[in-house]
Chain A
Amino acid sequence: IVMTQTPLSSPVALGQPASISCRSSQSLVHSDGNTYLHWLQQRPGQPPRLLFYKISSRFSGVPDRFSGSGAGTDFTLKISRVEAEDVGIYYCMQATQFPWTFGQGTKVEIK
C-alpha cells in the first residue's frame, strides 16, 4: 500500500493552523473492521513518536490542539494553533496490510 502525503513542506506562522493530508492507494479498513492508520511526529534528532492510532485515537500526552480524522483512503492531521515545539516531520503509516508502509513525511516549520 502506497501512502502519499501532501504537502511535503508546510511553513506556518506561530498560532496559525496546519493541515496535513494522507492518501492511501487502497482502503485501510481491515477485515476486523478497524482502520489501522496512525500518525507519527519526528522532532529533529529524535526517533518518531506516536500521535494518533486508528485515525483519531490520541496517544498519551499528545496535546488536544492536534486532531486526526478521515476514513477509507483519505486522512488528515490538523494542528489548530502551531507552537514552536511542533516543528518536525509528520508521517502517516498504515498497519492494515503487510508490509506496513509510511508516507514520505511532511515538514512543519515556523514561517
Chain B
Amino acid sequence: QVQLQQSGPGLVEPSQTVSLTCGIFGDSVASYTASWHWVRQSPSRGLEWLGRTYYRSRWYYDYAESMKSRITINPDTARNQFSLQLSSVTPEDTAVYYCIRQTYCSGGYCATCGGDCYYDHWGQGTPVTVSS
C-alpha cells in the first residue's frame, strides 16, 4: 500500500525559503512507473500545479512557468523522498501543499500506457502560512 507522508514548517517569514518533504512508502522515488508532483491549494487561487520530477534512466523536471524562477523539486533516493523548495515567499504563497504520485503502466509514459496515467495517491497536505 502506497503512502505519502509530508513534513515541513507551518509558518515561514516573507522573503524566506520554504522547504517541504514527501516521504514515500510502498514505492520508490526512482520508479519507472511513477512521477512525483507538488500541487497547492488556497482559497484565492484554488488548486495550482507546481511541478514534478521522475526518473527514466535520468532525472526529469517540469515546473509551472510562473514558478520557475523560485521553485526546485529534488528527489532523494537515499531517503526515498522528494522535496519542494520555494524561495522568496510572499503571503500569496500561503496555501496547503500536497505531494502526489502519478502512476503509469510498465511502459513508463502516458502514451505507452494507452493514456492510463493518473494521480492515485496524495499526501495529507501541509498548511503553510507566510507571515512575519
Using a CB–CB cutoff of 8 Å, the interface residues on chain A facing chain B are: 30, 32-36, 38, 40, 47-50, 53-54, 57, 59, 91, 93, 98-105
**B interface, over-half SS:** mixed
Give the CA-CA distance A50 to B100 in the complex, in Å.
11
Residue of B nearest to A93 (CB): B47
What are the interface flags for B36-69 relative to A under an 8 Å C-beta threshold, 1 for contact and 0 otherwise?
Answer: 0000000000111100000000000010111000
Residue of A nearest to B118 (CB): A53
How many A-B Cβ pairs are below 8 Å? 56
Given known contacts A47-B124, A48-B47, A32 and B111 CB-to-CB distance under 8 angstroms: yes
Which of B46, B66, B122, B124 is A105 in contact with, Cβ under 8 Å? B46
Using a CB–CB cutoff of 8 Å, the interface residues on chain B facing chain A are: 46-49, 62, 64-66, 98, 110-111, 114-120, 122-125
Beta-carbon contact of A36 and B49 below 8 Å: no
Beta-carbon contact of B46 and A32 below 8 Å: no
Beta-carbon contact of A47 and B47 below 8 Å: no
Give the CA-CA distance A38 to B115 in the complex, in Å.
12
Give the CA-CA distance A23 to B37 in the complex, in Å.
24
Which of A33, A48, A50, A101 is B118 in contact with, Cβ under 8 Å? A50
- Of B47, B111, B117, most A-chain CB atoms within 10 Å: B47
Question: B115 to nearest A CB, angstroms?
Answer: 3
Beta-carbon contact of A49 and B110 below 8 Å: no
Beta-carbon contact of A59 and B120 below 8 Å: yes
Give the CA-CA distance A105 to B117 in the complex, in Å.
22
